[in-house]
Amino acid sequence: MAITQTSDLNSLYNQIYERALFVLRETNLMVNLVSNYSANTFYTRNITTRPTLTVETATEAVDYTNAQSFGKTLVGTLTPQERMAQVIITDIELMNDPDPTAADASQEMGAAMAQQIDKDLLAVANSFATDIGSAGSSATIAKVAAGINILQARFANQDGPINVILRPEAWHDIWVLLGQPVTNQAFLGDTANMALRDYYVGNWLGVRWFTSANIAVDSSDDAPNLIFTQSAIAFDSRISPYMENQRDASLRAVEMNLVCAYGVGLGKRPTLGLRYTTDCTTPS
């Protein structure tokens, strides 16, 4: 019976692999919002930036001699790390479980890897130099607007869309403000009605809004929400996610391994990222 079960399981390997990577792609938010790099080595990557240049008035018949330096400055480094999830399924488990154990494990492994990547990228918020919030404070529309204004003053629009990512609890604070009568609804108009109707985070105030429960909450129930553009955070892929299955004959089981390697950190323009610390106590 064990031999028969093993051959049956082998026919599922490709399907398991495809399912894990599909879930990984579908459930990952952050990779599509940040700068992406890749390499085939495990060396540390240096993130560098060039200075901004200024334009001056030149005088006729006068040799212009005010050349500007255009070298590179080290912003930070990206150090790759291996990430891995493993599940071991025995032949008897496969025989007795009426549900597709291997396929379920594959789906969960893909989701776990996607969640870990998001957690690592969102944690880069703790490296941003500017925090416009404070521990114990509620999230407000005015504060988010202030953060957007700060980035716009730093020419963030040249880098692409501004993204706002809030913990669900912080978004709840915003949602409550959107639902208050007179002032807020008059100001936001249809946006307020949309939020009240769908509890949905979309595109308003000129930026893209998202929620993510993968932002870490500290022991005081505070969390660093993010306002940023793509060049503020970097994702450096070294080993694309892959599933490898190994038969353990003496254990009468199959070992499923999902492997990925990457580095995360500040991008080329770290000043285009702000941390917005707020209280993230579960609303009552």
Q: Where are the domains of the chain?
A: 2-51+72-279
Q: With a cut of 60, say whether residue 192 has pLDDT above it.
A: no
User: Tokens for 96?
Assistant: 């007795």
Q: With a cut of 70, say whether residue 215 has pLDDT above it.
A: yes
* Confidence at residue 16, expressed as pLDDT on a 0 to 100 scale: 54
* Confidence at residue 94, expressed as pLDDT on a 0 to 100 scale: 86
* Confidence at residue 205, expressed as pLDDT on a 0 to 100 scale: 72
pLDDT tens profile 122-144: 999 999 999 999 999 999 999 99
* Confidence at residue 90, expressed as pLDDT on a 0 to 100 scale: 92
Rounded Cα gap, residues 30 and 211, in angstroms:
11
Which segment of 76-90, 124-138, 175-189, 212-226 scores lowest on mean pLDDT? 175-189
pLDDT tens profile 91-104: 998 888 888 888 88
Higher pLDDT, 8 or 76: 76
Identify each DSSP E strand in the chain by its residue range: 35-38, 45-49, 73-78, 81-90, 163-166, 203-204, 207-211, 222-228, 233-248, 253-266, 273-279
Q: With a cut of 90, say whether residue 42 has pLDDT above it.
A: yes
* Confidence at residue 117, expressed as pLDDT on a 0 to 100 scale: 94
User: Tokens for 279?
Assistant: 């209280």
Residues across the chain:
284
User: Tokens for 57?
Assistant: 């008035």
Higher pLDDT, 167 or 182: 167
* Confidence at residue 206, expressed as pLDDT on a 0 to 100 scale: 80
Which segment of 15-24, 191-200, 246-255 scores lowest on mean pLDDT? 191-200
* Confidence at residue 1, expressed as pLDDT on a 0 to 100 scale: 34
Query: How many other β-carbons are positioned within 10 Å of the β-carbon of residue 64?
Result: 9
Please state the pTM of the whole predicted model: 0.82
Q: With a cut of 70, say whether residue 176 has pLDDT above it.
A: yes
Give 186's pLDDT tier (boundaries 50, 70, 90): very low
Parallel/antiparallel/unpaired status of strands 222-228 and 163-166: antiparallel
Q: With a cut of 60, say whether residue 8 has pLDDT above it.
A: no
* H-run or E-run covering 101: helix 101-122
Q: With a cut of 90, say whether residue 13 has pLDDT above it.
A: no
C-alpha distances out from residue 25 to 22, 112, 259, Å? 5, 11, 14
Residues contacting residue 31 through CB under 8 Å, at least 6 positions apart: 117, 121, 235
Average pLDDT over residues 95-124: 90
- Percentage of the chain beyond pLDDT 70 is 82
Considering the domain 2-51+72-279 in this protein, what is its CATH number?
3.90.1690
Rounded Cα gap, residues 213 and 115, in angstroms:
10
Higher pLDDT, 201 or 246: 246
Rounded Cα gap, residues 90 and 198, in angstroms:
44
34 contacts 78 by C-beta, under 8 angstroms: no
